[in-house]
A and B are shown apart, each in its own frame.
Chain A
C-alpha cells in the first residue's frame, strides 16, 4: 500500500538499536537523476530553480538522511533513537517528496500538462466534478499552506477516492498514496515568481506529468 513511498527510496538494511553489533555500512541513499534537462520545464519552472532545487536542496536532504541513518545505526538507547527522529523525518521526507516530485513533472513538449483519457481522468471528474475544479482546489489548498510544505493529490485507500491533502515541512504523505505532489516551499518558486504563489501554481499545471499520475493511480487503485 505504501509501496510508492518505499520504492521512492532504496531501502537501507534494517538495523536494531541497543545491543546491536557495529552495523555494516548501510546502503547510502543517492540523488536520483532528473528525468529531463534542467531547462526542460521552461518557461514554467526556470532552469535556475531546477538546478538549485535538484542539485542543492534535494542533495542536502540525501546527505542529511545518510548522516542521520549512520547515527541511528550507532544509537544504543531509546533516548538516542528518539533524538534522531526529527532528522530522519525531515531529511527522509525531503528525499521521498522530491524523488516523487521530479517524476510527476514533465516537459510541456513531452506531454506535460496533458491528461490522458482513461480511468485516472474519470476518477478526477468523479471526485472533483471536473478537471478544472480539481486544479482549482489543489491550488487553493496548496496556496493556503502556512509556512513550508506540499500540496498533494492523494488516493485514499479507505474511501477509494482521490482527495487533496497538504503536508507541513517535509512530512511525507502517509495517509494517502501520493499521486501528484506540488512543492510549495519558497525555494520551489521564489527566484521566478517571488511572493506571487498563485502564478507559480497556475504555471506548474503546464508541466505536471499526468501519465505518471495515472500510473500511480492505477497501481494504488488495484
Chain B
C-alpha cells in the first residue's frame, strides 16, 4: 500500500498547449503531485507505527489531504488529452447519452460544471460524477483535496486550485475553465462511466 509512485503523464508536458501551458503541466506534475505522494508515504509510514486511536486520528488529515491529492491528480492527468486528438472528442455512446439525458446537451454540462467550479471558495475540484444510487450523472464540487467517495464515481475532474491555472490565466479562472474543455479526455470519461454502470 505504501508503494506509491508518480504516474507518468500520458502525453508530453507541452501537449495540452495552448490551453494548459507546458510550464504549468511541468510544475503541476513534477512538483505538486510529487509532493502529495511524498507526504502520503510519510503519513502512512507514521500510521503504521501508530499504537493508539488518538495517534491514528491525528494522522487522518495528512492521509486525507495527501491521499486525496494523489488520487485526484492521478485521475486528472488521465482525463486530459491533447486537443484535436480522437480522445478529446465526445462521440456517440453511453457518455453522450447520459450527458444529453442529465444536462440537456454538452454545452449545458460545460456551462454548469464551469459555473460550479468557478464558484469554489478557496481550493478544490469540480467533478462530473456518476451517482451509483440514482444511475445519473451529476456535478459535484469538493474542497481542497477531498476525494470523490461513494456513491459517486468520478468521470471528469477539473482542478481549480490556483496552481492549476494561475501562471497562465492569473485570476481569471473562467478563462481557464473555458479553455480546458479543448483538452478533456471524453474517451477516458466514457470508460469510467461504463465501468461504474456495470451491475455487479
Chain A interface (Cβ < 8 Å from any Cβ of B): 52, 56-57, 60, 86, 90, 146-149, 168-170, 185-187, 190-191, 194-195
Contacts of B76 in A (CB 8 A): none
Q: Is the beta-carbon distance between B163 and A56 smaller than 8 angstroms?
A: no
Residue ID in chain A nearest B163 by CB atoms: A186
Determine whether B77 belongs to the interface, using a CB cutoff of 8 Å to chain A: no
The listed residue (A52, A147, A187) touching B143 by CB distance below 8 A is A147
Contacts of A57 in B (CB 8 A): 171
Q: Is the beta-carbon distance between A169 and B61 smaller than 8 angstroms?
A: no
Chain B interface (Cβ < 8 Å from any Cβ of A): 27, 31-32, 35, 61, 65, 121-124, 143-145, 161-163, 166-167, 170-171
Contacts of A56 in B (CB 8 A): 170-171
Q: Is the beta-carbon distance between B122 and A168 smaller than 8 angstroms?
A: yes
A146-B61, A146-B65, A195-B31 known; A187+B167 contact, CB < 8 A? no
Residue ID in chain A nearest B170 by CB atoms: A52
Q: How far is the CB of A94 from chain B (nearest CB, A)?
A: 9
Q: A169 vs B144: C-alpha distance in the bound complex, in angstroms?
A: 10
Q: A118 vs B185: C-alpha distance in the bound complex, in angstroms?
A: 61
Q: Is the beta-carbon distance between A195 and B163 smaller than 8 angstroms?
A: yes
A146-B61, A170-B121, A187-B162 known; A194+B31 contact, CB < 8 A? yes
Q: A101 vs B118: C-alpha distance in the bound complex, in angstroms?
A: 25
Q: Is the beta-carbon distance between B166 and A190 smaller than 8 angstroms?
A: yes
Q: Is the beta-carbon distance between B35 and A195 smaller than 8 angstroms?
A: yes
Contacts of B31 in A (CB 8 A): 194-195
The listed residue (B65, B121, B162) touching A90 by CB distance below 8 A is B121
Contacts of A194 in B (CB 8 A): 27, 31, 167
Contacts of B161 in A (CB 8 A): 147, 186
Contacts of B144 in A (CB 8 A): 146-147
Contacts of A147 in B (CB 8 A): 122-124, 143-145, 161
